[in-house]
Amino acid sequence: SSTAKFFVGGNWKCNGSVASVCKLVDELNAGTIPRGVDVVVAPPFIYIDYVMQHLDRDKYQLSAQNAWIGANGAFTGEVSAEQLTDFGVPWVILGHSERRSLCGESNEVVAKKTSHALAAGLGVIACIGETLDQRNSGSMFKILDAQMDALVAEVKDWTKVVLAYEPVWAIGTGVVASPEQAQEVHAYLRQYCAKKLGTAVADKLRIIYGGSVSDTNCKDLSKQEDIDGFLVGGASLKGATFVTICNAAG
């Protein structure tokens, strides 16, 4: 199991408007976050400036949802890890299943993005997970291994990585992994890391769960030995609900 601080990320995805972001920031500011929990919110790029200026950053840190694979240059429509650090954004989510499936990001691309972002000084929430077909056909561990192998080949320093296990079948579906299903994979991933990176790294690595996390299922999930936090999508768009999830541990 991990010895690290509980970590909760709110991935707003491509949601929100000026009005709704303003409201959500107010709701979050009204919430109480325990001292021992890292909470990171990831707005769409265009709202990061507003959120940075108005969100209580004693309680919440900021993340982007993606970054370019390399440094600044002629890459129309992209934002680099260097620009995120320059702007004061400390985290980035990389390898989310939506980017893997909708934008064609391979294991290798995600791994290269991760090492580039780490080198630029960001913390990385690196996402992995299997589809339902892969789980049902018995190839889940093989798929997870391939996703992890690519990361392990590129990432030398894991201290600023948070690993997010997000089974694709649980994302946005309302079908949450059971605490046992999630724990099985989290324990597997920690063992994998112990084998490839050593037990010191594996013990400190935060492995968080994502996929239909809600204010009603978060408590049971958080009791599992190898679940060190959550990556929350839909439920992170409601301030009070998200704050409840941030208070799930302890």
Contact footprint for ligand G3P (CB under 6 A): 11, 96, 166, 171-172, 210-213, 231-235
Minimum CB–partner distance for residue 176 and ligand G3P (Å): 8
CA–CA separation, 135 and 123 (whole Å): 29
Minimum CB–partner distance for residue 125 and ligand G3P (Å): 8
Minimum CB–partner distance for residue 212 and ligand G3P (Å): 4
Beta bridge partners of 94: 126
Q: Which of 216, 171, 232, 229 is nearest to 28 (CA)?
A: 232
Q: Token pair of 139, please?
A: 């190839």
Closer to ligand G3P at the Cβ: 43 or 211? 211
Minimum CB–partner distance for residue 10 and ligand G3P (Å): 8
Minimum CB–partner distance for residue 206 and ligand G3P (Å): 15
Q: Which of 55, 8, 62 is nearest to 29 (CA)?
A: 55
Closer to ligand G3P at the Cβ: 71 or 175? 175
Closer to ligand G3P at the Cβ: 70 or 234? 234
Q: Which of 64, 4, 53 is nearest to 29 (CA)?
A: 53
Beta bridge partners of 63: 91
Helix (H) or strand (E) holding 213: none
State the residue number with the nearest CB to ligand G3P: 233
**CA-derived radius of gyration, the chain:** 17
Is residue 245 left, alpha or beta, with left meaning phi > 0 and alpha meaning psi from -120 to 50?
Answer: alpha
CB 9 within 8 A of CB 229: yes
CA–CA separation, 72 and 87 (whole Å): 14
Closer to ligand G3P at the Cβ: 140 or 235? 235
Q: Which residues are catalytic?
A: 96, 166
